[in-house]
Structure 1
Amino acid sequence: MKSLLNIKWNKLFYNILFIIVWNLFLNLINAKKITVNNESELINSFSYANNNSINELIININDTTFELLDDIIINNSIEKLYIIGKSKEQSILKFNNIKNGMIFTNSLYEINQEIKFVNLTITGHLELYSIVNVIFEDVEINGNVLFDKSNKYLWSSGDYNYNIEYFEKNLNVTITMTRITYTSLSDTPTYCLNLFGNVILKDSKFYGHSLCTYAIIDYNGEDTNNLSISNSYFNGMYENECIKIYNAKNTNINSSIFENGTSNVYGGGAMLLYNSAFDIKNCTFRNFYTPYYGGIFYIYYPKSFLVDGINVYNTTAMYGGSLLYVYSLWDNERDINLLNVNLYGAGLLDQPVPYGGLIATIDGYINLNMLNFYGEDLYEGNGYGLFLMQYKTNIELKRVFGPNMGSIIAYSIENSNNSNFHITNGAFIDFYQDLSNPASIAIASAVIMALEEINILFKNTITIENSHFENNSGINGAIFFIDHVSEDFDNDIIINNSLFESNHAENFGGVIYTPNKFNVTKSNSRISFNNCEFRNNTAKKGDISFSFTKSDSPYFTNIEELIKMGSIVSNPTHIKLLSESYDSIEMLSGETLLNEINFVIMDDYDNIINTDPIEKVDDIFFFKVEFNDTYNAKLVCQSGYYCDIGTCSIPSLKGHPGNYDLIIKLQTFGNYKMFNDSVITIDLKIKECNNSFLYQDIENVGIKSWYSHLSCF
């Protein structure tokens, strides 16, 4: 018992000793500790600070809700200020008018300055001017927060000349927020949470609100400071973008979640980055939208940009770049690196992306490098494709996998500086390009590439290597649609060691469609498929390739094999009489020619073209039959005919003596381009009848019996 009493006595002794030492320490550093239980005591505690010269003030907030009517202004230079509550749930500072709050107007510019908020809730706004170090721990904030190094007068007057003292002392300003919950209630729409200096945000939650127009966080690093975010959660509440970052020396974001953001100004549904270095890893983004550019990232003049390990669900930027938009016209090229990115859902099924690429719009001198990209359910309608490249843009994709997409991969405009597009180890599966608008065919009707007027719009080298294209579909050219190439085209489209499997075009070109004349003066094709494998690709015509003529076709290392399979087809180039027909015919006047005249429509590889079922008028080849001498010869019956499936036939003839050219001429070309060699001329000689016959105008066409006369049955 005595031993137990001694233990209790020793413990009490040390507690008393600690209190004595602590109070002596507080007195030594000129500190004041105040416990407040109501609004009046809280206001008096700050008044005490304003009216007394102290180095340190500790304000303990009891478990009470403080209903506050007016601003609390702290204008004394307190070196250390601690406002400490019991917990966020118990200690609450509530300003009844959201326009009111706590305003710190004249803090010290000293390296050991510290303002700290712990274990409480603040509803109202916070303004901290000329600050150096601020710490929030286990705090809930409902309202706008403004940090600025200038003093109150400079901010209010609109004079943004920064405080000279701040620069002279070269202070390392730090703002730290740990385990905070922030909701951006604000009466000032231009900012919600305004930050500068070296900012550390960790284990915290941030929510947008309709009262705040722009981003939840607005950060300016002044080219010398860093922003760090980890293990945090951002929810724009479909009202705000999450973060705007200006002039950050370094930005590091790790293991955080961003949801439900929108930007109705400029773009960047999740983030807008200006003149900043940026590094983000292991983060998730869900449900972002902007009517402008950059569904997730809007990047303007980047210093550097690295994404590694992000998952993105449901993002749309109506102008383009549902994942990112990048703009930079600095002379030195900047690298945009995206590693291990998964994109699930972008774009709208029934609405095109009119001005940019669905995934990325790259505008300027940029190297975009993507490694291990997976995308599915991507829909860009009749727009510009997954990537839009402008100026000197280099794009390299490695280990890309994309099922369930409805888009082309790349479209390029104004590239006069020899840009590059490179895909390595890509896998593109279940793409579908829906082209209901014929006007869009020339620019957007292939899964991978749509090029128009390459000499003006696309002066790039495109390289695709070791990639896999499976089960993709489109109207024309399930993988490539290349509309025009002009004479000064001097770049290559190269596909090496790739597999094309089960791709389908509803009309022409199961893999590639090149429907127009390539005015390329070089003897070799600039589009080449080297050591590629093709399995079960289909189209109405040209299971692998459909070109304007043989000379306009891409190069295939196994071209002869593919031709024998009938997989390489061109636009029709000529019409040809069948072997059982004749190019010279003799018959007696009045005699019926027993054999029909048959011809077929053929391409440059001698494939018969008109073999498809006729489903509508536009599918039909119409042709006309006429004579070289229309004065002395005439068809009594109709002169216009159309081709049946497979062959085109002219019915048997009757006629009167004479030598004629029977001319067969195509008038329409069905779904194909017009071609020159579309006329056949047959020598027709009609001999005199036996003298026992009488010449008569049997058909009553008004031609006298002694004139030459033909009729068709």
Structure 2
Amino acid sequence: MMKGSLIYFFLISYFILMSNVYSFERNINNEDELIHNLNSTEYNILEIYIDNKSIDIYKEIKINNNIQKLLIIGSSKDSSILRFNNSISNGLIFNSFIQKITFKNITIYGHLEFHNVNNVLFEDTILNGSIISNDKSSKNELIQMNNFIYNAFIDFKTTCISLYGNVKIDNSYFYGNSLCTDNILSYDGENINNIDISNSYFNGIYTNTCIGINNANESNITSSIFENGSAYNDGGGAIHAKNSYSFIKNCKFNNNFSSTHGGLIYIETNETNEHINEKRNVYILNSIQHKTENINQSSKQKGLVASVKGNVNLQIENFYAEDLHAGKGISAFTLKGISTIELKNVKMNAIDGSNYGGVLFTSNEEQIGSEFKVTNGTFTNFHQYQVNEASSFIYSHQNINISLNNCTISDINGYKGYFIHIGSPTKLELNSVKIENHFTKKDCTFIRCESLSKFDKNVLIFNDLYVDGLDTVKEFVYIDSEDISINNSYLNRIRSSYIYSLSTDDKQKDNYFFRMGSNTNLSISYTNLNNIHTYYGIVSRTSSNIIIENCTFEYSNYDKTLFRIDPKNNINSKTNFTVNNSNFYMISANNGGVASIIELDEESMIIFNDCFIEETSSMNYGGVIYSESKLTNSHVFFNNCEFIPEYNDRGSISYAHCIESEPYFSNADELKMEYDYAFSTNPTKIALSSESLDSISVFSGESIPSNIDAELYDDYGIHRFISSNFDTMTFDDIIYFRVVINDTNNAVLLGDTISFCKDKCSFPQVKVVGNPGNYKLGLILITYGHFHKFENNAVFVDLEIRDCISEHKNNYNYKDIEGYGFKSCYKPKCSPACVHGKCEDNNQSSIDFMIFILVGLILQCFSMFEITNGQKKNSCRLFQYIFKNIGFSLVYGSMLVKTYRIYLIFMVKKKINRSMKKKNMILIVFGICMIHLLSVFFWIIIQAQVYTVKSANDHRTYSECKYPSSVYLCIGISINIIVTLYYVYITKFLKMNIKSEMLTNGSSDINKINSSNNDLIQKKPESSQKS
């Protein structure tokens, strides 16, 4: 009974309501009919039909009546047209409370504005103009667009379409316009409404962002295409989402661009939302992006694909991107704040940038909790064109967790900088990541982990990391204060830039495999390190722990060795190395193929347990380990290690400064018996070779014999070879020594007393001058070349100076001819030989007159230069006369006295004194020169005219030197010098064997030059030696 009453009540109510509803249909033919019917208050439902007509409207139409439903329907959108002609800002303004408005099968040119309209439907409609909906919407308001085509045609509006409420768009097309300065469609959901877009197309024509979504409770975009979107103000070339939950699926993005952030999408939250626990989630599924760029713009955008700011969770899955060009910008993805970006099943190809940051990802102003994560990613052909330090892949500052999982990365190119850069505190994970072919033009730090505070540390975890083909690497890993773990990985073909350079600059050699700061913990396990070429291997500053287990190092070269301990240079000070169950094969270095101990401190320990070391080598010393520290024996251990060393006579396994500097080997005795030169030390003494003389006997003035040789020996009595390859040696590589005699009061050494070792240290053939007796002739090392200085650095032989008088009597002279106060025992030699007498003593020659001739020729050259340079008064006195005549006198005067002396010796009768002292010869030459000098001085006193000016036939003047009549006296003297020709002629045919004085004296000059070189090496030359 009760149920029947209720049905009866509802039926009565329905008929009462229906009785108050008035419906009216009308065909419209012109503007007046349209205005009249739209403002009619007689009907609740108004249906306006435009039947294949184009109606021109010249003024704005405002609708203020309370029609419940309004339908504007045409026959087709091609033939039924409403056109507002006077201004594109004119249109239909709906101000009343209309329940529903429907536009169907019609084309509208103009502006549409909706206030307090609950439901708007566009179906099979074209709008060329703009739309504004009410900014105070309820949750029930709905705007629908089905098969809707929109062309932005607007008069200087910021947004082409501005919508509120719930919006549903399906199978529609939207095109922007340059007159619209921001979005094609701008939506504000007021945190209560939703927007759904499906199967639609947006084209920003390089001037507009396609969609701007603000405060949406939900936004769902599926199976749509976004092209040519461009953002010049707030970012987001295709989509700009703010404070909105978004879901994007099965969409395609092509050639979208932003001059600031987010070429595809820019997602941000307000500051008020950054500190709430709930993130704004944005999902992009099964989407494609092609060619993000704008060829007409010089872009500095960041985020070619997406940029997030604030508290945002962006998840992208099944995404493909190609040909994304940032211009002067950077990064496919950027993050700011406490946001998360997660990529799954992503492929990206041909991405580039040219700014500070990373080509794939850049973050800044991160907060704790931010994250960037990639799973199943493929990244190829990335280019970083920034010439300053930037990143070719990832760049972050701090407070972020970064993880790459199951990724393939190949063909990465940059100018200089990093592959990955992070700042503390950051956690970086690389799990099952394959990296191939990374190249930079300048030095590159592959992974740089920077500690911004001593209290913050980075954590690096590499599992199943595969790296192959890194060129021009300055450091593979450079970390400040971190914990780093590398497990089950393969590192191959990592090369530093210095191996391609011929430069000897130390900056070219400042590169490392692992470069670590203080308080670092490094763990490497089950990892193969192959074909590594760097200057330094694994280097830490201080207080670090390095553990290597079950690893293989092979086919690599570390110039300064793999493990170098050098606390004085902040290299591995107070650092502990533990190497367990690892293999080393074909590893080479300059000193110590595996380890080099320069200095140790009490807190360091280096332990090798159960390792297999085969054919490791060094260019110099120690095939496996090189040691200089005396703490090595108690701090470096090789326990149960097997060795198959490569032959090296300077220690095929170990080379130490001395026996006390050798590491501990648990099987040292077996190794020494099995391998020659397995252990070697720095030379500890110098001794005479087995074939050398150990005593010599000479007369005063004689040179010592040549077969006195010394060699270097180490603590094992092994002869240490000295390099003789001067093509590869520097000055510091040469071993210099000094030869001395023990009693400098009775004997001196003449000649090259300083020399160098070549294969052996051979005594030079110095001359000994001194009193008869027994002496010690010694060789003392001055420099040590590659070797370190040692105490037993001198060797001596017995030297006897024999008595000249008792053994030679009359055949030899015994007098001081060297000028050192000691007599020499010698047989006189005359050159040329005496013709009519006995050679009483050595004759001597000089080059004095050769010098006079040279100076004379130079003065003659000055004289000729002055003649061509013009004549002046002073020139006539000085250059024209003095230089010319003195030069003439020096040349021919010297020739005169030299030939005259020969004439006296060989042509004059025996009874006449044929000698002519050098002093008299020099006085003759200078006497002739003085006559010319006195003449000039006399002319100056009497002020004789020596300079005149004459006129030529063509009325030009010229200068001429004119001297007093006394000049003829000087000319006569010069003519008399011509008698030189007579002496030259008559001595020309003498049959003599005369050596040139210049040649005779040449050896003396060479000795002087050698003596000068000796003085450069000797800081304190012997008092007994003179130049």
Q: Please give the TM-score of this superposition, normalised by the length of structure 1.
A: 0.77
Of 379, 382, 385, the match for 2:495 = 379
Deviation at residue 174 of structure 1 after TM alignment: 2.9
Kept after mapping to 2: 8 A contact 1:608/1:646: no
Of 432, 436, 450, the match for 1:309 = 432
Kept after mapping to 1: 8 A contact 2:152/2:177: no
Distance in 1 (CA, whole Å) between partners of 2:567 and 2:376 is 42
Please give the per-residue CA displacement for 1:650-700, whole angstroms capped at 9, x wherever unaligned: 779999731212212234434433433211233445566895642876697
Q: How do 1:630-649 and structure 2 match up within 5 A?
A: 630-635=744-749, 638-640=752-754, 642-643=756-757, 645=759, 648=762
Kept after mapping to 1: 8 A contact 2:560/2:591: yes
Counterpart in the other structure of 1:158: none
Q: How do 1:440-451 and structure 2 match up within 5 A?
A: 445-449=560-564, 451=566
Please give the per-residue CA displacement for 1:203-227, whole angstroms capped at 9, x wherever unaligned: 11235313351211112461xx543
Counterpart in the other structure of 1:468: 583
Deviating more after overlay: 272-281 vs 240-249? 240-249
Distance in 2 (CA, whole Å) between partners of 1:532 and 1:560 is 13
Of 212, 215, 220, the match for 1:104 = 212
Deviation at residue 132 of structure 1 after TM alignment: 2.0
Please give the per-residue CA displacement for 1:355-390, whole angstroms capped at 9, x wherever unaligned: xxx2111112x1101012212221123223111111
Kept after mapping to 2: 8 A contact 1:451/1:458: yes
Distance in 1 (CA, whole Å) between partners of 2:690 and 2:772 is 26
Deviation at residue 237 of structure 1 after TM alignment: 2.8
Deviation at residue 175 of structure 1 after TM alignment: 3.2
Of 380, 384, 391, the match for 1:268 = 391
Structure with larger Rg: 2
Q: How do 1:171-186 and structure 2 match up within 5 A?
A: 172-181=280-289, 183-185=291-293
Counterpart in the other structure of 2:947: none
Distance in 2 (CA, whole Å) between partners of 1:572 and 1:308 is 51
Identity %: 19
Kept after mapping to 1: 8 A contact 2:204/2:210: no
Kept after mapping to 1: 8 A contact 2:423/2:450: yes
Kept after mapping to 2: 8 A contact 1:136/1:178: yes
Deviation at residue 251 of structure 1 after TM alignment: 3.9
Alpha carbons of structure 1 residues 621 and 217: separation in structure 2 relative to 1, 3 Å? closer
Q: Tell whether 2:153 aligns with 1:35.
A: no
Q: How do 1:493-512 and structure 2 match up within 5 A?
A: 493-512=606-625
Counterpart in the other structure of 1:85: 199
Give, as a single letter, the amino acid of the residue that structure 2 aligns with 1:282. Answer: N
Kept after mapping to 1: 8 A contact 2:623/2:645: no
Kept after mapping to 2: 8 A contact 1:408/1:450: no
Counterpart in the other structure of 1:133: 246
Q: How do 1:127-526 and structure 2 match up within 5 A?
A: 127-141=240-254, 142-144=256-258, 145=262, 146-150=265-269, 162-163=271-272, 170=278, 172-181=280-289, 183-185=291-293, 189-192=300-303, 193-196=306-309, 197-206=312-321, 207-211=323-327, 213-220=329-336, 222=338, 226-235=340-349, 237-239=351-353, 241-245=359-363, 246-247=366-367, 248-259=369-380, 260-262=382-384, 264=386, 267-273=390-396, 274-289=398-413, 293-295=417-419, 297-315=420-438, 321-327=445-451, 329=453, 331=455, 333-348=457-472, 353=474, 358-364=475-481, 366-380=482-496, 381=498, 382-408=509-535, 410-412=537-539, 414-415=541-542, 418-433=543-558, 445-449=560-564, 451=566, 453=568, 458-485=573-600, 488-514=601-627, 516=628, 518=629, 524-526=633-635
Of 654, 672, 677, the match for 1:566 = 677
Give, as a single letter, the amino acid of the residue that structure 2 aligns with 1:138. Answer: C
Q: Secondary structure at the match of 2:433?
A: strand
Kept after mapping to 2: 8 A contact 1:316/1:322: no
Deviation at residue 195 of structure 1 after TM alignment: 2.2
Give, as a single letter, the amino acid of the residue that structure 2 aligns with 1:179. Answer: S
Deviating more after overlay: 523-532 vs 497-506? 523-532
Deviation at residue 525 of structure 1 after TM alignment: 3.4
Q: Please give the TM-score of this superposition, normalised by the length of structure 2.
A: 0.55
Counterpart in the other structure of 1:5: none
Counterpart in the other structure of 2:638: 529
Please give the per-residue CA displacement for 1:239-295, whole angstroms capped at 9, x wherever unaligned: 261112444445432110123142747633211233122332110122335566531
Kept after mapping to 1: 8 A contact 2:344/2:377: yes
Structure with bigger helix share is 2
Give, as a single letter, the amino acid of the residue that structure 1 aligns with 2:377. Answer: S
Kept after mapping to 2: 8 A contact 1:32/1:57: yes
Kept after mapping to 1: 8 A contact 2:375/2:407: yes
Distance in 1 (CA, whole Å) between partners of 2:320 and 2:514 is 33
Deviation at residue 540 of structure 1 after TM alignment: 6.5
Kept after mapping to 2: 8 A contact 1:73/1:103: yes
Q: Secondary structure at the match of 2:561?
A: coil
Distance in 2 (CA, whole Å) between partners of 1:319 and 1:452 is 26
Deviation at residue 94 of structure 1 after TM alignment: 2.2
Deviation at residue 595 of structure 1 after TM alignment: 11
Distance in 2 (CA, whole Å) between partners of 1:502 and 1:470 is 6
Q: Secondary structure at the match of 2:151?
A: helix
Distance in 2 (CA, whole Å) between partners of 1:209 and 1:457 is 44
Q: Secondary structure at the match of 2:488?
A: strand
Alpha carbons of structure 1 residues 494 and 601: separation in structure 2 relative to 1, 3 Å? same
Q: Secondary structure at the match of 1:542?
A: coil
Alpha carbons of structure 1 residues 582 and 562: separation in structure 2 relative to 1, 3 Å? farther
Please give the per-residue CA displacement for 1:316-370, whole angstroms capped at 9, x wherever unaligned: 575653144343536365531101111112232xxx72xxxx2111112x11010
Deviation at residue 309 of structure 1 after TM alignment: 0.8
Counterpart in the other structure of 1:12: none
Higher relative contact order (CA 8 A, sep 6+): 1
Give, as a single letter, the amino acid of the residue that structure 2 aligns with 1:630. Answer: T
Q: Secondary structure at the match of 2:146?
A: strand
Kept after mapping to 2: 8 A contact 1:138/1:180: yes
Kept after mapping to 1: 8 A contact 2:526/2:549: yes
Counterpart in the other structure of 1:629: 743
Kept after mapping to 1: 8 A contact 2:564/2:598: no
Alpha carbons of structure 1 residues 427 and 168: separation in structure 2 relative to 1, 3 Å? closer
Please give the per-residue CA displacement for 1:179-216, whole angstroms capped at 9, x wherever unaligned: 23154436662433212522111111235313351211
Give, as a single letter, the amino acid of the residue that structure 2 aligns with 1:305. Answer: L
Kept after mapping to 2: 8 A contact 1:405/1:432: yes
Give, as a single letter, the amino acid of the residue that structure 1 aligns with 2:186. Answer: I
Counterpart in the other structure of 2:993: none
Alpha carbons of structure 1 residues 316 and 546: separation in structure 2 relative to 1, 3 Å? farther
Kept after mapping to 1: 8 A contact 2:814/2:825: no
Alpha carbons of structure 1 residues 682 and 175: separation in structure 2 relative to 1, 3 Å? same
Long gaps (5+) in structure 2: 1-118, 122-138, 230-236, 499-508, 827-1027
Q: Secondary structure at the match of 2:759?
A: coil
Q: Secondary structure at the match of 1:494?
A: strand
Kept after mapping to 1: 8 A contact 2:424/2:457: no
Kept after mapping to 2: 8 A contact 1:510/1:537: yes
Counterpart in the other structure of 2:721: 610
Distance in 1 (CA, whole Å) between partners of 2:816 and 2:805 is 23
Kept after mapping to 2: 8 A contact 1:542/1:570: yes
Deviating more after overlay: 590-599 vs 658-667? 590-599
